[in-house]
Amino acid sequence: MSEPPSAIGAPGLPARGGAEVLPPPPPARGLTRARVTGIVLLGVWALVGIGTVLFLLASWNVELFTRYAPRYLSGLLVTVELVAISVLAGAVLSVPIALGRRSKSRIIGVLAYTYVYFFRGTPLLAQTFLVYYGLGSLRPELESVGLWWFFREAWYCAIFTFSLNTAAYQAEILRGAIESVGRGQWEAASALGLSRLQTVYKIIIPQAALVALRPYGNEIILMIKGSAIVAIITVYDLMGETRRAYSRTFDFQTYIWAALIYLGIVEMLRMTIDRIERRLTRHLRR
């Protein structure tokens, strides 16, 4: 955690609004208060970084590494698989929900809204418990409708919950993106004699995709981070393997490694999204 800078107002403002009106004052040279604060803060981060590296070096243990590195890798694969399947399933599910949200029928609209509200209004952890342990206590009922084979497996329960959860978020992203494309676009397309399908593919989706790209990327990142809780329902994802390693070794470096891996994948994903966005919006750049 960083120390907050000592003064709130002063260091933050851009270097405009100085004493003279024009031209803006040149960037301050030498040690301004902002620079001192910045250097101190960077020093703090450097200490955290060096401390972490030293800690990892000091607790380096070949035996531990050869034993747990493959497990971390398999945990990471489980995490990736879980997130990939859930996000894709959620994407499919989100289409009817988003359409439902835009439906003219009041009943469908309310149903879709309730769905979205429920999954966005309750913690993923509580949803996961509800599905796994809650449905686990309803085995006879589930057996009588022939669904128990599915909810019997923790892995399916996790995918089920995560898909339903991300579907609610993705539906809202989709709806927002579609609504961001103005009515005029539809009208212009129809004036040009494009069919509805053509309009959707050629006019609406390319524009909506630009708007939706970043939120979709963020949703994937949120799912990667959120998936860490499946460890609690016996799925050995990256977090699960971490907890297992820690409960065996009581060595805190197990958590540090997990933190580095999570940071790494999230950061990689973020950079990829930035790159795609820059590519897609190159026609908008002046």
Window 118 to 137, contacts with other proteins (CB under 8 A): 118, 120-127, 129-130, 133-137
The binder of other proteins chosen from 104, 184, 191, 247 (CB under 8 A): 247
CB of 109 to other proteins, least distance (A): 18
Tokens of 105: 């029928």
Stretch of 86-94, 96-104, 113-121, 188-196 contacting other proteins, by CB under 8 A: 113-121
Q: Which is nearer to other proteins, 207 or 225 (CB)?
A: 225
Window 164 to 203, contacts with other proteins (CB under 8 A): none
CB of 41 to other proteins, least distance (A): 4
Stretch of 80-88, 94-102, 202-210, 260-268 contacting other proteins, by CB under 8 A: 260-268
Q: What is the rounded distance in angstroms from the CA atom of residue 239 to the CA atom of residue 196?
A: 46
Q: Does 1 bind other proteins (CB under 8 A)?
A: yes
Q: Which is nearer to other proteins, 65 or 201 (CB)?
A: 65
Q: What is the rounded distance in angstroms from the CA atom of residue 46 to the CA atom of residue 58?
A: 18
Q: Give φ, ψ of 142 to 5 degrees.
A: -70, -35
- The CB density around residue 97, as the number of other CB atoms within 10 Å, is 23
C-alpha closest to that of 56 among 204, 240, 255, 199: 255
Q: Does 113 bind other proteins (CB under 8 A)?
A: no
Stretch of 93-101, 197-205, 219-227, 278-286 contacting other proteins, by CB under 8 A: 219-227
Q: Which is nearer to other proteins, 16 or 285 (CB)?
A: 16
CB of 225 to other proteins, least distance (A): 4
Q: Does 158 bind other proteins (CB under 8 A)?
A: no
Own/partner long-range contacts of 268-273 (Cβ < 8 Å, ≥24 apart): 269/217, 269/220, 269/221, 269/224, 270/217, 270/221, 273/213, 273/214, 273/217
Q: Which is nearer to other proteins, 109 or 134 (CB)?
A: 134
CB of 192 to other proteins, least distance (A): 35
Cβ-contact 136, 145 below 8 angstroms:
no
Q: Which residues contact 37 (CB under 8 A, 6 or more apart)?
A: 5, 6, 11
Report the C-alpha dihedral over residues 19, 20, 24, 30, rounded to 10 degrees.
-40
Q: Which residues contact 280 (CB under 8 A, 6 or more apart)?
A: 209, 210, 213
Tokens of 215: 């939120």
Q: Does 209 bind other proteins (CB under 8 A)?
A: no
The binder of other proteins chosen from 99, 207, 255, 277 (CB under 8 A): 255
Window 46 to 85, contacts with other proteins (CB under 8 A): 47-48, 50-52, 54-55, 57-59
Q: Which is nearer to other proteins, 186 or 255 (CB)?
A: 255
What is the DSSP secondary structure assignment for residue 28, as one 8-state letter? Answer: P
Window 15 to 44, contacts with other proteins (CB under 8 A): 15-17, 21, 27-28, 32, 34-35, 37-39, 41-42, 44
Q: Which amino acid is at 141?
A: E
Q: What is the rounded distance in angstroms from the CA atom of residue 100 to the CA atom of residue 174?
A: 12
Q: Does 10 bind other proteins (CB under 8 A)?
A: yes
